[in-house]
Chains A and B, each alone.
Chain A
Amino acid sequence: MFTILFFLSSGLFLGWSLGANDAANVFGTAVSTKMIRFKSAAIICAFFVIIGAVISGAGTTETLGKLGSVNAIAGAFTVAFSAGFTVFVMTKMKLPVSTSQSIVGAIIGWNVFAGFKTDYSTLTKIVSTWILCPVLSAVFALIIFFIIKKFLYRSRLHMIKLDLYTRLGLILVGAFGSYSLGANNIANVMGVFVPVSPFKNIDFSNIFVLSGTQQLFLLGGIAIAIGVFTYSRRVMETVGSDIFRLSPIDALITVMSSAMVLFIFASQGLQSFLVSHGLPSIPLVPVSSSQAVVGAVLGIAIAKGGKNINHGIIGKISLGWVATPVFSGIITYILLFFMQNVFLQQVFSK
């Protein structure tokens, strides 16, 4: 049990860092604009992240599995550790980083080390989804912005009442965003451990079964929740002022659009609905919640006339698509070498 927990620790660390940084993408603007207290935000976020991870985490995990199925627990440890290390280093260097991009690079690094072929059609699907993610988020934000603007113009709501509705909206959308974050991003945290999962199904007196994978996701979800409670406060309190001052309604639009994007790329239900109606299917891919948020903020900026847009941010995002996976892949390759030859651990099986 101790060995298992030790090997899982890198995934749990990755989960912790995801909770510390990415929870701010969901509730940051609400907390920094003082619409919701940090404590309330943290409780809602932690609860819904766990629910999202356990119920809907399987879709994106399957995609990562297709990219590369890490089949030895020491290998999975190294892959998650390298991804976490990359996130840590790039955050320290103040470079834009996403756990999703980091883990994909790490899995490819493992594929290269183990001599397995990377499935390029899956890789293309993943990379194109990364590019689509901020674009789609911006489009959603633009549409929601105009709908809300029209509604506010017609409704003649009292400022104080509008404040109340915005608060309730931020809580609802924040819960949805947290659920989507858990569903979409749990694959980054625990995905690589699924093929080597040590857990067995638990049957709750025939009412429902908690599968081994779901237990892994539950653990990962708890790690994210701990990240939210222990470290996200500082990130949340600065996130609103980082890009530019968002009004509470802008914050609501931002969270709603980015949550929708995360949900779309994680929902198996939506995917099968589309397929059953003969519509084009949506790939289930872990995407970057930070880039979804930046996309949404850009969408709002465009809706407001497109003034003061920092074009540098678009360049920075593009850099993240390339630099993060490459860096993470190289680190994984090096660490796998040490793991295999210095610590004499089996990092893959043929």
Chain B
Amino acid sequence: MKFIGKTKELITEIDVFCDTISRSSLVFKSGINNFLEGKTERFHIDLEEINKLENEADNLRREIKYKLYIHMLIPDSRGDVLGLLETSDNVVDSIKKVLSQFDIEKPDIPKFLKDDFRQLAQFSVDTVDEMVKASRAFFREISLVNDHINKVHYYEHEADKIEEELKRKVFNSTEIKSLSEKVQLRYFAERVALISDEAEAVGDRLSIYVIKRTR
């Protein structure tokens, strides 16, 4: 009977963990938009929110890990699940770091680059969303994982393209005078795109898990 209770708890915790990552990506999008539009107060609310979510994700990850080992659950998939949770947690960590870097450095983003930054953030968010869907499918319906992973790769590739375009625009621009400013903008373009890279790393891990379980 104890087992049944623990099983339900664990399923809920894994679901909540996935929700937390999903919400983090939404907060990321909102944070970038608020920063670009100069809505400082709202941006700070997003920053607070992402700190909370990062904390929550950490606690959930620890709790799930603890339960899996103490109650010896899914012994053959435990390592894979923990690896999945850890890499997914990296996505939230990166979101938090990028937003707080925006807060610290307050980069001056020229008007002609704002749309590119918005688009880049959107592709990163799309990558994370598909990654979360793939993770949920891994737990419930493994045959669907690959469909989501394909989308993860697609959005990550799109994010890469925008990132490169954005960097070219920065360094070809005559409007941005100093090299330091250009380097700083390149850095932020790379940071925003990093979220999609982290999500793709989770996707790559999941595709190996699928091969392990279906061949």
Contact = CB atoms under 8 A, between A and B. Distances in A.
Given A156-B140, A167-B3, A161 B11 contact: yes
A159 B140 contact: yes
B140 A163 contact: no
Interface in B30-76: 72-76
Contacts of A159: 74, 77, 81, 138-140
Interface residues of A, number: 16
B141 interface: yes
Contacts, number: 40
B211 interface: no
Q: Interface majority SS on B: helix, strand, loop or mixed?
A: helix
Nearest to A307: B215
Nearest to B213: A247
23 contacts: A33-B76, A34-B75, A35-B75, A37-B72, A156-B141, A157-B140, A158-B139, A158-B140, A159-B74, A159-B81, A159-B138, A159-B140, A160-B10, A160-B11, A160-B14, A160-B74, A160-B139, A163-B7, A163-B74, A164-B3, A164-B4, A167-B3, A248-B75
A153 interface: yes
A160 B72 CA distance: 11
Given A33-B75, A158-B139, 14 more contacts: A33-B76, A35-B72, A37-B72, A157-B140, A158-B140, A159-B77, A159-B138, A160-B7, A160-B14, A163-B74, A164-B3, A164-B4, A167-B3, A247-B76
A342 B187 CA distance: 95
Interface of A: 33-35, 37, 153, 156-161, 163-164, 167, 247-248
Nearest to B78: A34
Contacts of B143: 153
Interface of B: 3-4, 7, 10-11, 14, 72-77, 81, 138-141, 143
A247 B3 CA distance: 20
Nearest to A37: B72
The 10 closest A-B pairs by CB, nearest first: A34-B75, A163-B74, A164-B7, A159-B139, A156-B141, A160-B10, A160-B11, A158-B11, A160-B7, A156-B140
A163 B81 CA distance: 13
Nearest to B80: A159
A105 to B, nearest CB: 40
B9 to A, nearest CB: 10
Contacts of B11: 158, 160-161
A152 to B, nearest CB: 9
A305 to B, nearest CB: 9
B93 to A, nearest CB: 25
B150 to A, nearest CB: 20
A320 to B, nearest CB: 31
A263 B74 CA distance: 30
A346 B192 CA distance: 92
Contacts of B141: 156
Contacts of A164: 3-4, 7
Contacts of B10: 160
B76 A160 contact: no
Contacts of B74: 159-160, 163
Contacts of B138: 159
Nearest to A168: B3
A37 B72 CA distance: 9
Nearest to B143: A153
A167 B81 CA distance: 18
A149 to B, nearest CB: 11
B213 to A, nearest CB: 9
Contacts of A156: 140-141
B75 A160 contact: no
A273 to B, nearest CB: 36
Contacts of B77: 159, 163
